Amino acid sequence: MPVAAGQDCYCPDCLARLASESISQQLQTLPLREALALASRYRTDSALLEHIDYTLDAGNLVFSRWYHLKRGSCCGNGCRHCPYNRDSG
């Protein structure tokens, strides 16, 4: 990810937040089918990254839309950011 002119490097936490924002912006413009194709390349990544795959809310993991797309299917638990409920692709 390019940094702005005059910008120093980012700490891991700030870099993860910036990456999350970039991913979210890209996903807003993609139909579900294309977002799934993009995320499928990362499906084997087993490490969860805070701010990218999940955030913490009152001590609970809240999985991101990106995480659900990487997962590849709906788990049926009514997750807050589930992309399968609202897009048909």
The pTM assigned to this predicted structure is 0.77
Distance between CA atoms of residues 3 and 49, nearest Å: 21
Rg of the chain on CA atoms, in Å: 14
Digitized pLDDT (tens) for each residue of the chain, 89 residues in all: 555 666 667 788 888 888 888 899 989 999 999 999 999 999 987 889 999 999 999 999 999 999 999 999 998 888 999 998 754 44
Residue 62 pairs in a beta bridge with 55
Question: Three-class SS string for 28-45?
Answer: HHCCHHHHHHHHHCCCCC
Distance between CA atoms of residues 32 and 1, nearest Å: 24
